[in-house]
Amino acid sequence: MSEMHSGPEMRFLCDQNLGRLVKWLRILGFDAVYLAFWDDARIRGAIAEGRAVLTRKKAMAAKSGMVYIGEDKVEAQVREVSRVFDLGRTARPFTRCTLCNSVLVGVTRGEAKGRVPEYVYTTQEVFAECPDCRRIYWRGTHFQHAGDVIASLLGQ
């Protein structure tokens, strides 16, 4: 692939059939927005601003700048995108809100108190907050497992 398909600023627009893929791209730290319904103007705008447009519509993918996603299952889709865009090189897992696509901001343990379950507060050290929806994130006991899943998805 060309240079425009790599780099730390990799951003995506996913079509309406790729809702779960959007979430996974955000978990991996990528700016990923979702097209709730097909919108040619928005697709053109996204391409113009340098987003990679991922689609399940094979015929539409022939248009400039769109990438056809052939896989059905989300794990396979992440691997497919990873092969094309070398995601493993620039992924920053757990740095972005999976709901809003906003970059998380670190908060102190004190700031998280009362806003997370008590057992989380007592067992976790590192917290981050979404500046938009105010959801608090932490690296829970599932983190190691999630890390393994991500490493496998990225082919590392």
Among 89, 133, 147, 155, binds Zn ion (CB under 5 A): 133
Rounded to whole angstroms, the Cα distance separating 78 from 134 reads 27
Q: Is 128 in the site for Zn ion (CB under 5 A)?
A: no
134 CB burial (10 A radius; 0-12, 13-18, 19+):
exposed
CB 53 within 8 A of CB 46: yes
Q: Is 69 in the site for Zn ion (CB under 5 A)?
A: no
Q: Is 100 in the site for Zn ion (CB under 5 A)?
A: yes
Q: Is 130 in the site for Zn ion (CB under 5 A)?
A: yes
| Residues in Cβ contact with 135 at an 8 Å cutoff, skipping those fewer than 6 apart | 97, 99, 129
Query: Hey, what are 73's tokens?
Result: 């299952």
Q: Is 132 in the site for Zn ion (CB under 5 A)?
A: yes
Query: Hey, what are 126's tokens?
Result: 């590192």
How far is the CA of 130 from the CAs of 102, 104, 119, in angstroms?
Answer: 6, 5, 21
Cβ closer to Zn ion: 103 or 120?
103
Among 87, 97, 150, 153, binds Zn ion (CB under 5 A): 97
Q: How far is the CB of 131 from Zn ion (least distance, A)?
A: 8
Cβ closer to Zn ion: 57 or 135?
135
Report the candidate in 13, 17, 82 with the shortest Cα–Cα distance to residue 53.
13
Q: Is 10 in the site for Zn ion (CB under 5 A)?
A: no
Q: Which stretch binds Zn ion (CB under 5 A): 23-31, 45-53, 110-118, 130-138?
A: 130-138
Cβ closer to Zn ion: 83 or 134?
134
Using CB under 5 A, list all residues that contact Zn ion: 97, 99-100, 130, 132-133
